[in-house]
Amino acid sequence: MTQRKSQILTTAARLFKERGYSAVTMRDLAAALDMKAASLYNHISGKQEILTILILEVAHEFTNGMKQVESDDSTAFVKAQNLIALHIKIALSLTDSLAVLNNDWMHLEGVSYEEYIRLRKNYEADFKQIILEGIDKGEFKNMSVETILFNLLSTLRSIYLWIPKKSPSEIETLKVELPDLLLLGLKK
């Protein structure tokens, strides 16, 4: 990827996060980059390509992180801790893109939409399986796995809202305390 394309994606992610995908035009993006709108098309085919790249990059980060967690021989509890750490890491490194994923994924079209939905469903199914494993082995309380998963993912999907407003020390505290907060209520 060229440096200019990377700048376009970074700026677009920020604008999409601030205003929403639908409210941002290619002219808005060009103005934010101090270039002509027509010049953008030398680097990118349009907003849909930008949205696809931003969302699928994050979705693949989650998928790859899940594969790494699953390949570990750790307990389900440790795997769940590692998934929470993965969400924090992605929220820190791809804050704007994560916001775009959470807020604008429904604007994806065609194959990109289908790929995102497949990646999301697989990630959620794998997370669910880790929770079920923890319940089966007595690491977690015998509660509805759907309730547990909803609680965990609802919190984890909103971390990107919290992180930009916090200091580095507060973020370090989050890394330590959030897994305990979310999982110790489940632990037997």
| pLDDT per position as a tens digit, 71-123 | 999 999 999 999 999 999 999 999 999 999 999 999 999 999 999 999 999 99
Residues of the chain above pLDDT 70, percent: 98
Residue 1 has pLDDT above 80, yes or no: no
Q: How many CB atoms lie within 10 A of CB 149?
A: 17
Instruction: Return contacts of 114-117, CB within 8 angstroms, 24+ apart.
Output: 115/56, 115/59, 116/55, 116/56, 116/59
- Residue 186's pLDDT band (cuts 50, 70, 90): low
Query: Cα dist. 52→25, 33, 38 in Å?
Result: 16, 20, 20
Residue 169 has pLDDT above 70, yes or no: yes
> Domains plus CATH for the chain?
46-183 (1.10.357.10)
Q: Supply the pLDDT for residue 184.
A: 85
For 12, the 3-state DSSP assignment is helix
DSSP 34-61: TS-HHHHTTT-S-HHHHHHHHHHHHHHH
Contact 59, 119 (CB under 8 A): yes
- Residue 140's DSSP bridge partners are 187
Q: Using only the alpha carbons of the chain, give its radius of gyration.
A: 18
Measure the N-to-C terminal CA separation of the chain; round to a whole number of Å.
Answer: 48
- Residue 188's pLDDT band (cuts 50, 70, 90): low
- Residue 185's pLDDT band (cuts 50, 70, 90): low
Residue 116 burial (10 A CB sphere; 0-12, 13-18, 19+): buried
d(C-alpha 109, C-alpha 136), whole Å: 39
Q: Which residue has the tokens 């984890």?
A: 156
Q: Supply the pLDDT for residue 35.
A: 93
Q: Supply the pLDDT for residue 163.
A: 87
Indicate whether this model's pTM tops 0.85.
Answer: yes
The closest of 147, 109, 157, 149 to 128, measured between CA atoms, is 149
Q: Which residue has the tokens 């590692």?
A: 82
